Structures are given as structure tokens and as C-alpha cells.
A = this chain, B = another copy of it.
Amino acid sequence: MLDDRKAAILRAVVQEYIETAQPVGSGRIADAEGVDVSSATVRNEMATLETDGYLVQPHTSAGRVPTEKGYRYFVDTIGAPRALRGEHARQVSAFFRRAHGEIEEMLEATSRLLSGITDWTGVVVPPPSTETPLRSIHLASLAPRQALAVLVYADGSVEKHSVEFDADTGEERVNAASAHLTAHLSGVVRSGLPDSVTPTGDTETDRITATALDVLRASVEPDAPSDVFVGGASRVASAFDAVETVQEVLHVLEQHLVVVTLLRDVVDRGLQVAIGSETGMETLASAALVVAPYTVGGERAGSIGVLGPARMDYREAMAAVTDVSNRLENHLTEG
């Protein structure tokens, strides 16, 4: 554990580095608020902090830069999450006051909101559709042997799966099957779909129903294509100085499944912030991720996050992510 003075110095270094992106020298820290010792003392303490792995020097005659461990300490001792203030708080309020319409559009806009507030990239993962209650199912025939199963969920999201039939199917039968499915599966969650539904008595209708049900059951896969909304990806360009890193991070953001997994893992580990290697991804070594889960009607959880450089403003990002996730939760629950 760090004594008070070391802690104060470390925090001051992180704070300063976040603001300036320049290695921080002992002089600057000695002047800083909350540190009332001379620069010589600060130097001694900094040397210890370096030995203990909280700081590093880019080169001998330079100031110090926080390590992952340093950022971690900073985040862990950041105290009660500050609420959003000023312009940003207003932005969030206004956003949710105006929010309406399609849920996907709204979540996409939310990712842009996060990006706008924090200056980095915003990510929004919707609750898994497999855990959202179904509202209705519509089979729309496209060709004699092909139909589209359109699932409408209670939260207003829509999903589709194409269904292939073995034999030509009449449209009336398809409609009958469609109504039958809705009648039996409304309110059910897709991961809890039954093996079969009560037969209608009409053989062909039942076959259509069964085929569609099979498709829907089969679509509950862990590696199914996942929705993610990424807002402000262009900010990545200014987040890292190495072009190579920019490209790698952008590449990560393009792989939606990876992003979803990443957020989930971090949330599952009970973290609000994952710094560098804590993300579990080598390519995010100089990045940090601030996340917050949100739940809608009990268990079905989505998450939101902000991806930026390790030297991001954690206070603000944590406040933003917390506030937005709460508002989002309310918005989707009261809906």
C-alpha cells in the first residue's frame, strides 16, 4: 500500500499526464495542489514509485509517465464516481428527453453521445436478443420454398432469419403457421424456445411451424453475429500517436463479435475500467476501456463503454458511462 504522500504524488502525476500527455517532472508535482514538499522530496518518492512499478521514465533525464499499474491505482482510488456536470450533463439530459423511435437508431445515437462527451469512441451493446421476450413472429414467404421469419421483440427490436422449406408451401399455410407461432411464443425468450408447439392438426402447417422453430432454435448460438454500435471511431485517429496502433484499434472495432465479447468479459470480471493488458487484448495495450452494464427488466443486460487511450480522463469517462447507462436503463424500462 502506498502512504498518503506517495499516493498524492502518484495521483498528481497521472492527473498531469492525462492533461498534458507529456512526461511529468518533480518540479511540476511539487507545485501541485495537495503536495506540500519540495521537488527533491518528490524526486525521492518518485524513484520509489518507479521501483514499485507505478511509474516509468521514457529516458533518464525525462519526467515520469504512469504505468498500467499506476493508472490502475489512480482509478481504484478515484473515490465516489463523480456525476456529470455542466454542458455534458445537459447534453445527456437533452438527448434522453428527445430520444424516441427505433431502438437501434437510438442506441446508435447513444454511442455517438458517449463519443461526444468523452472525446473518444463510444460503444453500445444492446441486450442479447436471445434473452428478450418475443412479442410476435411473422413468417413472410419470399419464394415457394423460402420464407423470412421476422421476430419482433418486446423492446421493439426486430430480427430476421431466413427459413428454407423442403417442399413448396402455400401462402395461407405460412400465414397460419405464423399466427400459430405468435400465439404460442409471445412472451417467450428465444433461448428458452420449446422443442415444439401444440400441433394445429393440419400436417403441412405443422411442418412449416416446426421448420421455422428449428431455425429459430438453431440461431441461438454464442458466436452469432452481434449488434454493436460504435460511435466516433474517427477519434481513434487522434488517440494514439503510432499509425500502426490506430490501425490495430480500428481493426478491433470492426470486429463486432470481438467488441461484444470484450465488453462482456470486462463487465463479468466486475470491472468498470480495463486498462491496457487488462482488456485481454494485445492490440489494446495502450488503450483503456470504461464500461457500464445496464439491465432492462431484470436479467437481460446490455453494456456501454468508452474506448480511448490509457491516458484518458477516467473521471469524466466513468461519470459519462455511469450516467448514460442509468438513463438508458430508465429509458428502456419505462419506454
Task: Give A residues with C-beta under 8 Å from B.
Answer: 101-102, 105, 135-136, 138, 140-143, 148, 150, 152, 154, 156, 158, 160-162, 225, 231-238, 243, 246-248, 250-251, 253-254, 335
Contact B150 A138 (CB under 8 A): yes
Which of B136, B140, B233 makes the CB contact (< 8 A) with A250?
B233
Query: Would you list 16 pairs from A and B whose C-beta atoms are within 8 A, ordered by A residue?
Result: A102-B160, A135-B140, A135-B141, A138-B138, A138-B150, A140-B152, A142-B152, A142-B154, A143-B335, A158-B158, A158-B160, A231-B254, A234-B247, A234-B250, A234-B253, A243-B243
Contact A254 B232 (CB under 8 A): yes
- How far in angstroms is the closest Cβ of chain B from A199? 22
- How far in angstroms is the closest Cβ of chain B from A88? 21
**What B residues does A234 contact at CB under 8 A?**
247-248, 250-251, 253-254
Contact B162 A101 (CB under 8 A): yes
Main secondary structure of the interface of A (DSSP, over half): mixed
Contact B156 A142 (CB under 8 A): yes
**What B residues does A237 contact at CB under 8 A?**
237, 243, 246-247, 250
A161 to B156, alpha carbons, bound, how many Å? 10
- How far in angstroms is the closest Cβ of chain B from A78? 29
* CB nearest neighbor in B for A178: B138
Contact A225 B105 (CB under 8 A): yes
Closest 4 CB pairs of A and B: A234-B250, A237-B247, A140-B152, A234-B251
* CB nearest neighbor in B for A179: B175
- How far in angstroms is the closest Cβ of chain B from A100? 8
**What B residues does A161 contact at CB under 8 A?**
102
A150 to B148, alpha carbons, bound, how many Å? 12
- How far in angstroms is the closest Cβ of chain B from A109? 10
A237 to B283, alpha carbons, bound, how many Å? 15
A234 to B237, alpha carbons, bound, how many Å? 10
